[in-house]
């Protein structure tokens, strides 16, 4: 079993445990062809791991913070951001609501499916984008292990995230 398969199995187990513990059902996985339709609508392919989460685990409703967005909602957020005065970087799909208008986003152009933080609260588009994690896979592992962004306790210095310099070139 490869790393991706192991990670998908771990996420599925975590989701099952959560459903047993809280009784909140997870949306059913997307049917065959729905990811391809979404990719056509977006104009770019989804990272394979993200597509597998939606087709094999469930269409959102599980995962870090408030959970992964259902794919249709992620597309709507992306399209709304692209049409806004702020602009939204091409190929950067919001995938999880972190609360307070913040999103965890995946850079679908990145070979590693780099994770970015959209944090609009400073009120300046140039200060709204940060590196969150080197990859979607690592971000999920951190969630499963309670490490990285998902640690219980933080030092003030550990909360620092580096600005995403590519933001302006992707609008």
Spatial separation of the C-alpha atoms in residues 33 and 170, rounded to whole Å: 28
Query: What pLDDT, in 10s, does the model give residues 21-63?
Result: 566 777 899 998 999 999 999 999 999 999 999 999 999 989 8
| Domains defined along the chain, listed by start | 3-150 (3.40.1580.10)
Q: In whole numbers, what is the pLDDT of the chain averaged over residues?
A: 89
Q: How many CB atoms within 10 Å of residue 66?
A: 13
pTM (predicted TM-score): 0.91
Q: How far is CA 32 from the centre of its chain?
A: 21
> Both tokens of residue 109?
């152009």
With b for 16 or more beta-carbon neighbours within 10 A and e for fewer, the 145-157 pattern comes to: eeeebeeeeeeee
Spatial separation of the C-alpha atoms in residues 25 and 16, rounded to whole Å: 9
């Amino acid at each position: 079993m490869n790393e991706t398969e192991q990670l998908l199995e771990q996420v599925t187990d975590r989701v099952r445990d959560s459903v047993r513990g809280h009784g909140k059902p997870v949306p059913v996985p997307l049917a065959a062809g729905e990811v391809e339709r979404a990719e056509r609508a977006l104009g770019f392919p989804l990272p394979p791991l993200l597509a597998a989460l939606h087709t094999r685990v469930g269409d959102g409703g599980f995962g870090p913070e408030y959970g992964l967005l259902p794919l249709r909602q992620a597309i709507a957020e992306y399209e709304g951001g692209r049409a806004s005065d702020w602009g939204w970087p091409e190929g950067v799909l919001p995938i999880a609501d972190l609360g307070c208008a913040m999103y965890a986003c995946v850079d679908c152009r990145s070979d590693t499916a780099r994770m970015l933080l959209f944090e609009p609260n400073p009120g300046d588009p140039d200060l709204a984008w940060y590196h969150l994690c080197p990859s979607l896979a690592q971000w999920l592992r951190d969630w499963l292990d309670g490490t990285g962004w998902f640690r219980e306790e933080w030092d003030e210095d550990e909360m620092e995230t580096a600005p995403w310099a590519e933001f302006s070139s992707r609008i």
